[in-house]
Amino acid sequence: MIKQLISEMEKQADSDRAKNLSRFFKTGKGEYGEGDKFLGITVPIQRQNAKKFINLKLKNIQQLLKSKFHEHRLTGLIILTLKYKKAEEDEKKQIFNFYLKNTQYINNWDLVDLTAPNIIGNYLLDKDRSLIFKLSRSKNLWERRIAVLSTFTFIRVNQFTENLKVAEILVNDKHDLIQKAVGWMLRELGKRDLKTEENFLNKYGKQMGRTALRYAIEKFPEDKRKFYLSA
């Protein structure tokens, strides 16, 4: 079955789109996606592929995750989220553990953002969440982003403790992709509880990176944005 999927994806490849994606995902030397290879397949097509091949076993999904092609990894991860959604508790635990063992292959922001809330965040909703803080202190950029994005699941059910703690841990993180993620999640929190977001900004706004701060206050009125940016 995996050979059939790979064969179909080879037929769906678009070399011109692949070049554009390589630039968009910063695959040049020294950039965050250095060395990543693209086939040039759109996400909607990859979602169709995932639905068609949802019955792939975890060992086959791992083959996709180890691929040099970004779309193989993303399709494998989309399949994983679809399997997780349909799974019973025991299988959800298996998928959760599988995901954590393969974070080295979940190595770009789209791979994280499309999966971390749906698997890591969802699984921890009714469990101990200390793993989130461990990931947020990881030397691995993508594990730190997984930590931030996993809190999106908690935010959606008006549980903010983990998001605020992770934001506090990463408030001085220098990487642009972490700053964007931290600011984005604070903005999402603020949609539900503006006072709690402002309390955080009043305490940490001066030491936050400008990127994180700008993301966090993006929806604020102009006068309030100027206040935080000039603080």
What tokens appear for 53 in the block? Answer: 């091949």
In degrees rounded to 5, what are phi and psi of residue 198?
-65, -35
For residues 28 and 25, give the distance between their C-alpha atoms in angstroms, rounded to a whole number.
9
Tell me, yes or no, whether 115 lies in a domain: no
Give the count of beta carbons closer than 10 Å to the beta carbon of residue 214: 17
Question: According to the model, what pLDDT value does residue 202 have?
Answer: 96
End-of-domain residue from the set 75, 104, 133: 104
- Written as one letter, the residue type at 18 is A
pLDDT average, residue stretch 45-69: 97
What tokens appear for 179 in the block? Answer: 């700053």
Which of the four pLDDT bands, split at 50, 70 and 90, describes residue 31? confident
Tell me, yes or no, whether 89 lies in a domain: yes
Q: How many domains does the chain have?
A: 2
Would the pLDDT of 231 be above 80? no
84 and 131 together in one domain: no
The per-residue pLDDT of the chain, averaged, comes to: 96
Which has more pLDDT, 33 or 125? 125
Question: According to the model, what pLDDT value does residue 134 have?
Answer: 98
CATH number assigned to the domain comprising residue 188? 1.25.10.90
Tell me, yes or no, whether 110 lies in a domain: no
Q: Output the DSSP codes for 196-225.
A: HHHHHHHHHTTTS-HHHHHHHTTTS-HHHH
Question: According to the model, what pLDDT value does residue 1 have?
Answer: 87
88 and 151 together in one domain: no
Task: Summarize pLDDT for 127-182 with one digit per residue, the tens.
Answer: 999 999 999 999 999 999 999 999 999 999 999 999 999 999 999 999 999 999 99
Contact between 200 and 191 under an 8 Å Cβ cutoff? The reply is no
For residues 205 and 216, give the distance between their C-alpha atoms in angstroms, rounded to a whole number.
10
Question: According to the model, what pLDDT value does residue 208 have?
Answer: 92
Q: Is 207 exposed, middle or buried (0-12, 13-18, 19+ CB in 10 A)?
A: exposed
User: Residue 174: which domain range?
Assistant: 124-231
For residues 182 and 159, give the distance between their C-alpha atoms in angstroms, rounded to a whole number.
16
Tell me the C-alpha to C-alpha distance, in Å, between residue 180 and each of 142, 148, 183, 230. 13, 10, 5, 19
188 and 132 together in one domain: yes
Residue with tokens 């989220």: 81
DSSP summary character for residue 170: T
End-of-domain residue from the set 104, 133, 161: 104
Rounded to a whole number of angstroms, the CA Rg of the chain reads: 19
Task: Summarize pLDDT for 124-139 with one digit per residue, the tens.
Answer: 999 999 999 999 999 9
Tell me, yes or no, whether 113 lies in a domain: no
In degrees rounded to 5, what are phi and psi of residue 36?
-65, 140
Angle (CA) 41 47 49, round 5°: 75
Residue of 85, 87, 63 lying closest to 75 (CA atoms):
63
Tell me, yes or no, whether 60 lies in a domain: yes
